[in-house]
Amino acid sequence: MKRKVKLKPKAKRAGIIFLAVIVVLSGFLIYRVWSHNATLAQGLDYIQEQENKKVKELSSSLKDKKNAEMESAIESGQVDVFALFDDAVIFGDSRVMGFSVYHFFPESHVLASSGATIKDISNWVNQAQSMNPSLIFFSYGVNDMGLGLDSEGGYDALYQSQIEQVVKVCPDATIVVNSIISATPVAIEKSPRWDKVDEYNKKIKAMCEKNDWIYVDNSEICQNGNADIYQADGVHFLQPFYTTWAENMIMTVRKQ
């Protein structure tokens, strides 16, 4: 019969201390491994973040370079800006009609009429659907301000509801909305109804931001009504301006 060996108090304490040391060392090693892995993960996340940032910056830089080259090619006449609208239509009023009157766009691509307002967009929905363009531009405002359409529940809400009719039948098209181009100060003095451009444009821009539509700011190219682009009435445009306007529209789209 085997006898049980009784540990002396000192031996027991030594054993407990040894076990405690083992536990502490194990905990320390586990912490070091965890800490190392956490640091490594953070490092990898940082590297990935920097790589993504570099890719975005590089992509943006290349895009800016291409756009600069395109602008230069258009200005030098190497590229016909109107050729870039082959798969586009533009809705609008008598101002827009100039694109077809001066033979810049085929008449079928200009969905416009004299005196038109945003309420007339619905008249052209079927034609837009049959053409199924990849780019759809809108440009209204002069007649809208004259009729005070902003008082009918908000100009932006009314404009949006009209554009949505087109979006419904052309869901894959990119929607581009022009800011209202100001009339000349002389024309505004004769007809104060046109002195609401900033107010209307603010709503148009907000509408575009809300719906992820592209907003084209035309204030610079018309110099707020002071550019040498107007016919005698101070409202309609001279032929050369249509090239400038088209370039501003297409380059705004390309920069998105």
Q: pLDDT, tens digit, for every residue of 117-164?
A: 999 999 999 999 999 999 999 999 999 999 999 887 799 999 999 999
Task: Tell me which residue has tokens 């821009």.
Answer: 205
Q: pLDDT, tens digit, for every residue of 186-216?
A: 999 998 889 999 999 999 999 999 999 999 9
pLDDT at residue 43, as a whole number: 62
When pLDDT is cut at 50, 70 and 90, the band that residue 7 belongs to is very low
pLDDT at residue 60, as a whole number: 66
Residue 23 reports pLDDT greater than 80: no
Tell me which residue of 146, 184, 140, 147 sits closest to 162, measured CA to CA: 140
Q: What are the Cα distances from residue 7, in Å, to 13, 14, 21, 23, 53? A: 10, 10, 20, 22, 66
Residue 70 reports pLDDT greater than 90: no
Q: Which two tokens stand for residue 44?
A: 């990898």
Helix spans in the chain (H): 9-76, 94-101, 125-131, 142-147, 155-169, 185-190, 197-211, 219-222, 241-254
* Least reliable range by pLDDT among 70-74, 79-83, 88-92, 110-114: 70-74
pLDDT at residue 52, as a whole number: 65
